[in-house]
Amino acid sequence: MTARSISAIARDIKRDWGTKINYGAKPYLEAMLDLDQITDNYMADSGKSVVLYFLANAANYRGPKARELKAELKALLKTKGK
């Protein structure tokens, strides 16, 4: 199974989280909308660091869909760009 792009996952998160996106997670979510793979860069940040910072700031994004989407991001972190 091919992993989805980070931007596709970010679109699902944005749609599911709605308008109450945590201010700390929002810039990283916006950055993820421009990333395809974990090995991509966003300005001076690596895709990996953008995803890690998003996950660190998205603690209040909860629920079954949130767990599913966060797990998908964590799986991408484990692939190390393979």
Structural domain spans, the chain: 6-79
pLDDT at 80: 61
CA 22 to CA 36: how far, in whole Å? 23
Percentage of the chain beyond pLDDT 90 is: 87
Please report the pLDDT score of residue 55 as a whole number.
Answer: 97
Q: Do 70 and 61 form a contact (C-beta atoms < 8 A)? A: yes
- Which residue is listed with tokens 């109450």? 20
40 vs 1, which has greater pLDDT?
40
Q: In 10 A of CB 52, how many CB atoms?
A: 16
What mean pLDDT do residues 26-49 have? 95
Q: Give the pTM.
A: 0.91
